[in-house]
């Protein structure tokens, strides 16, 4: 398996230790190439390269190696765009990273051979308690083995294609259908999405076979809502993958507007108008103003729409998902009501930001029934002002 860099957390690379008297080391040069391709492959010469960087770092007195941190450089080259479908989302979840390090002595002599390593990188993060350079890979790119889904919707599970071999979708222990996962050929295939439509079929578990022989069961729970409109929140989770959360209960939409105003003069000391005749006679009036003109003028008026969502009663095992939503940098809102004739799924997808900055963990012991209320703000103005 490849080493995975999660770029929202630091990733440190320590260079080779070139000790004296064999070497009189002065500095190290690191070349970083971020590209779309297989781990360990020959770097592309043009197409598929997202960025190339060269870093130099001098050795401190008494030291014989240095440390580079590369996560921030890589993180700038991810693109996140959700349009309502999971068909191609794996393409912008993972990038390949090639790193080559060369040492130089004080007289300019290059130390050979250079050291090259290849990684895969995802726009996820590690927990503080994971420690430095935590690179463990999950089976599915989810933090729990429990998932709640809305009846009639599509379930989308982010799959680690480097570890998973097969995904069996089941109901009451009976397999309904299965996905076979092939080893990834390049970075665009490291994360795949296994999907199932629940319009006419229910599922209560997914059995995932990984690392050739082992298996793990993910529990699925269907939630049906007959009264309130259902909204789906799609966000980028801690593993850098897209994940869905459904909000089934009461929702409230609001509009917050802003504007500026100034007083202007509507007084007209001399007004010329014309009577529509053959000779266009002029009619002149003096010292007048219109009582229907705006003396106090509004400008730069705009608004931002917000929505408050309620999750409905959820299992305590969903807490980690809501936690990851709180610190996600990419969130989209999708109205799950039936599409009108000619309407597309993409037209229902709205980029949003989470307005809440505090999150109180609820448990079945303390709260019995767990419901989360969250406030989202659409990440664009009501009046189109994109120039």
Give the percent of the chain with pLDDT over 90.
67
DSSP-derived letter for residue 323 is H
Lowest mean pLDDT among 134-138, 170-174, 275-279: 275-279
> How many other CB atoms sit within 10 Å of the CB of residue 132?
9
pLDDT of residue 42: 57
| 286, 364 contact by CB (below 8 A) | no
User: pLDDT value at position 277?
Assistant: 60
pLDDT score of 279: 64
pLDDT at 387: 84
Decide: 90 and 67 in contact? Cβ < 8 Å: no
User: 127 in the Ramachandran plot: left (φ > 0), alpha (ψ -120 to 50) or beta?
Assistant: beta
Instruction: Tell me the CATH number for domain 4-130.
Output: 2.60.40
| HSE-up (13 A, CA, CB side) for residue 115 | 14
Task: Kindly report the CATH number that applies to the domain delimited by 227-262+298-387.
Answer: 2.30.110
Neighbours of 352 (CB within 10 A): 22
The CATH topology of domain 137-224 is Immunoglobulin-like (2.60.40)
Same fold, 4-130 and 227-262+298-387: no
C-alpha distances out from residue 162 to 97, 185, 194, 196, Å: 16, 10, 14, 21
Is the previous residue joined to 191 through a cis bond, with omega within 30 degrees of 0? Answer: no
Q: 135 CB contacts (<8 Å, ≥6 apart)?
A: 3, 4, 5, 6
Q: What is the pLDDT of residues 20-59, one digit of tens each?
A: 888 999 999 999 999 887 655 555 555 578 889 999 999 9
| pLDDT tens digit sequence for 69-88 | 999 999 988 888 899 888 77
Q: Which run of H or of E encompasses 74? A: helix 71-75
Report residue 60 as tokens. Answer: 């401190």
* Per-residue model confidence as pLDDT tens digits over 282-337: 788 888 888 888 889 988 899 999 999 999 999 999 999 999 999 999 999 999 98
pTM: 0.90
What's the pLDDT score for residue 307? Answer: 96
Mean pLDDT of the chain, nearest integer: 90
Q: How confident is the model at residue 134 (pLDDT cuts 50, 70, 90)?
A: very high
pLDDT(14) > 70: yes
Question: Which residues, 6 or more positions from 202, have their beta carbon under 8 angstroms from its beta carbon?
Answer: 151, 171, 222
- Structural domain spans, the chain: 4-130, 137-224, 227-262+298-387, 263-297
Sheet holding 174-180, edge to edge: 146-150, 214-223, 205-210, 164-171, 174-180
């Amino acid at each position: 398996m490849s080493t995975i860099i999660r770029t929202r957390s630091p990733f440190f690379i320590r260079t080779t230790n070139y000790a004296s008297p064999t070497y009189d080391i002065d500095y190290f040069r690191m070349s970083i190439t971020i590209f779309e391709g297989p781990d360990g492959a020959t770097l592309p010469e043009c197409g598929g390269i997202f960025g190339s960087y060269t870093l130099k770092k001098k050795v401190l007195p008494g030291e014989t190696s240095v440390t580079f941190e590369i996560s921030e450089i890589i993180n700038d080259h991810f693109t996140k765009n959700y349009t309502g479908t999971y068909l191609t989302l794996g393409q912008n979840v993972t990038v390949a990273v090639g790193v080559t390090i060369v040492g130089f002595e004080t007289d300019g002599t290059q130390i050979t051979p250079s050291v090259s390593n290849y990684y895969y990188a995802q726009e996820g993060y590690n927990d503080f308690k994971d420690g430095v350079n935590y690179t463990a890979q999950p089976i599915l790119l989810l933090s729990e083995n429990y998932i709640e889904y809305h009846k009639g919707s599509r379930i989308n599970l982010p799959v680690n294609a480097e570890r998973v071999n097969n995904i069996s979708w089941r109901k009451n222990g009976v397999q309904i259908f299965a996905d076979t996962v092939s080893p990834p050929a390049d970075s665009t295939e490291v994360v795949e999405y296994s999907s199932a439509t629940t319009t006419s079929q229910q599922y209560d578990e997914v059995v995932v076979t990984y690392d050739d022989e082992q298996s793990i069961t993910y529990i699925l729970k269907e939630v049906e809502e007959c009264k309130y409109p259902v909204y789906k929140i799609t966000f980028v989770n801690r593993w850098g993958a897209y994940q869905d959360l459904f909000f089934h209960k009461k929702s409230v939409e609001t509009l917050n507007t802003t504007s500026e105003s100034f007083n202007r003069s509507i007084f007209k000391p001399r007004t010329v108008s014309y009577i529509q005749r053959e000779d266009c006679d002029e009619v002149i009036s003096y010292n007048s103003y219109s009582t229907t003109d705006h003396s106090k003028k509004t400008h730069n008026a705009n608004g931002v729409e917000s929505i408050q969502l309620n999750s409905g009663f959820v299992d305590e095992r969903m807490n980690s998902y809501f936690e990851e939503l709180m610190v996600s940098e990419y969130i989209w809102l999708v109205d799950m009501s039936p599409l009108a004739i000619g309407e597309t799924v993409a037209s229902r997808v709205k980029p949003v930001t989470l307005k809440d900055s505090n999150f109180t963990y609820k448990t079945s012991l303390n709260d019995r029934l767990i419901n989360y209320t969250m406030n989202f703000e659409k990440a664009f103005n009501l009046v189109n002002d994109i120039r």
